[in-house]
Copies of this chain bind each other. A is one copy, B any other.
Amino acid sequence: MRAPAEIGMRLEEVDTPALIVDLEPFERNLQRLRDAVAGRARVRAHAKTHKCAEIARRQVAAGAVGVCCQKVSEAEAMVAGGIGDVLVSNEVVGAPKLARLAQLARRARLGVCVDDAGNVAALEAACAAAGSSLDVYVEVDVGARRCGVAPGAPALELAKAIARCEHLAFSGLQAYHGAAQHVRAATERRAAIAQAAAAVRETRARIEAAGIACARVTGAGSGSFMFEIESGAYDEIQPGSYVFMDADYARNEWQAPLPRFEHALFVLATVMSRPVPERAVVDAGLKASSVDSGLPLVWQREGVRCVRVSDEHGVLEVAAGAASPALGEKLLLVPGHCDPTVNLYEHYVCVRSGRVEALWSIDARGALA
């Protein structure tokens, strides 16, 4: 596939659709997280958002201990890109994937989550075969109603099973409250995390009472991480979207202690049709900007909003009196949801002050397995 831009080009010269990182707000987002956390928790940035080793390296340079991934193939891409500490913040099931995970653990510090005793045994067997070891976290369902065992006794039973394994190190609890991240009101988000923290505290106490060290509780996303830190129940946070800040996250209420992040990820699109004065059509549809969490926002064009998309078209409504987008004009869109949008592209076109400064490979694009 051809490169999407050349270094030194002006933004307006970049062919479309293209995935743009505006480096100045991106760098401020990295710094803002660091300032807000202020060393009160370890930061393990979530690489599922960006799938890019270059960004992961910058997160580590900004203080992160390493990254999380959701898939073994993502973890492989991160280790290949020089990240030495990776947590697969997810269950891994099936012999081929376990064998890859155990192999990868020979090359980097690797962690994984479990919520099933049979899976613990399979992990132990895979690591024994590979001659490697893994950090293993018990995933506790603290409100996401997805994977994870219930807090309390079921988590203790799994911790015991892990502690009995020669090649597995019981490392603590994974306790991510995904459902809380997009609760709009900050007070409600804080309340949801307070409940999660209570469940975590009780579970940790129960495990430690059984004589098993519970080194770490990890979890938290961009919408809530300061609440986890302030709860005192979490040692490590896993924010991902903060680097880019998408349109859906921007609909949250943001207030202290959470810093306000800036939009740093955009889809550059061209106006390809102006059929009637009140409608402009851009060449970026749902194959260019994922709509699972809502339509993209048109960036800094008052009176112009995206009202509909199809596969390759974004339909914009132009309010009476708004500056009218011309045929061929390029517009920036803020994606509704950054993670699946990134997964549609091979490269980030990184821009500073309106000039292309770098192309970064999206190393783990399509890394599903």
Q: Which residues of A contact B (CB under 8 A)?
A: 1-2, 4, 15-18, 48, 70-71, 90-94, 96-97, 115-116, 118-119, 141, 145-150, 178, 270-275, 279, 281, 283-284, 286-288, 290-292, 309-313, 315, 327-328, 339-340, 343-346, 365-369
Contacts and interface: CB of A to CB of B under 8 A. Distances in A.
A353 B223 CA distance: 47
Contact of A273 (B146, B286, B315): B146
B328 A346 contact: no
Nearest to A369: B15
Given A15-B369, A93-B272, A327 B281 contact: no
B147 A273 contact: yes
A67 to B, nearest CB: 15
Contact of A116 (B148, B274, B368, B369): B274
A344 to B, nearest CB: 6
Quickly give the copy total for this chain: 2
Contacts of A340: 286-287, 311
Contacts of A286: 290, 292, 340
Nearest to A97: B15
Contact of A281 (B147, B283, B290): B147
Nearest to A274: B116
A92 B328 CA distance: 10
A270 B94 contact: yes
A281 to B, nearest CB: 5
A292 B343 CA distance: 15
Contacts of A346: 366
Given A343-B344, A344-B366, A368-B17, A315 B146 contact: yes
